[in-house]
């Protein structure tokens, strides 16, 4: 199983939670797909507006897209804006390998921190990040901001 990342044009990515939330909505599948495509397009435009220098990467495994990554690589800090794998690809070490590669490349580039935000209720992702050395730098609202390595001032600088 060969994994790699590649630059790509945006592709719609439905979060499994969103699909589950919409299971009871009495729309035909085509209407739900159009809605998810529209939501993704809005999210992608927002990311491009807020993070104009970010990279949009598709995670491939054996030539098939299995995940996505929005990553901003600054001189001092790298910011994981969004990261996700298909549900069937989770729990097999791919996320750990991807995050470890980001940490290695950030350190190699001289960055002092890798930042990310995770939803409060996503305990599985939080555990993964903690196992990889990320520490909470800001806890509040719907998301927790984490940093690797955990440095003073990272939360306020990340904006």
The pLDDT tens digits for 84-122 are 888 888 899 999 999 999 999 999 999 999 999 999 999
pTM of the model: 0.80
Confidence tier at 133 by pLDDT (50, 70, 90):
very high
The pLDDT tens digits for 2-54 are 444 445 555 555 555 566 677 788 988 888 888 888 888 898 899 989 999 99
Given a contact cutoff of 8 angstroms between Cβ atoms, the answer to whether 118 and 143 are in contact is yes
- Indicate the fold that domain 3-158 takes in CATH: Aminopeptidase (3.40.630)
Close Cβ partners of 8 (under 8 Å, ≥ 6 residues apart): 56, 57, 58, 65
Q: Is the peptide bond before 149 cis (omega within 30 degrees of 0)?
A: yes
87 DSSP assignment: G
The pLDDT tens digits for 61-92 are 888 888 889 999 999 999 999 998 888 888 99
pLDDT given for residue 24 in this prediction: 85
pLDDT of residue 150 exceeding 90, the answer is no
**Residue ranges covered by each domain of the chain:** 3-158
């Amino acid at each position: 199983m060969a994994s790699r990342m590649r630059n790509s044009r945006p592709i719609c990515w439905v979060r499994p939670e969103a699909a589950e939330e919409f299971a009871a909505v009495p729309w035909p599948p085509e209407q739900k797909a159009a809605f998810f495509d529209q939501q993704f397009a809005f999210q992608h435009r927002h990311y491009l507006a807020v993070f104009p220098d970010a990279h949009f990467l598709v995670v491939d495994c054996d030539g098939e897209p299995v995940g996505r990554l929005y990553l901003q690589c600054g001189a001092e800090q790298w910011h994981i804006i969004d990261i996700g794998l298909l549900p069937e690809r989770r729990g097999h070490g791919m996320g750990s390998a991807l995050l470890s590669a980001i940490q290695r490349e950030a350190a190699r580039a001289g960055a002092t921190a890798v930042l990310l935000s995770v939803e409060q209720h996503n305990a599985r992702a939080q555990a993964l990040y903690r196992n990889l050395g990320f520490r909470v730098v800001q806890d509040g609202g719907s998301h927790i901001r984490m940093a690797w390595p955990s440095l003073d001032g990272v939360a306020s600088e990340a904006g």
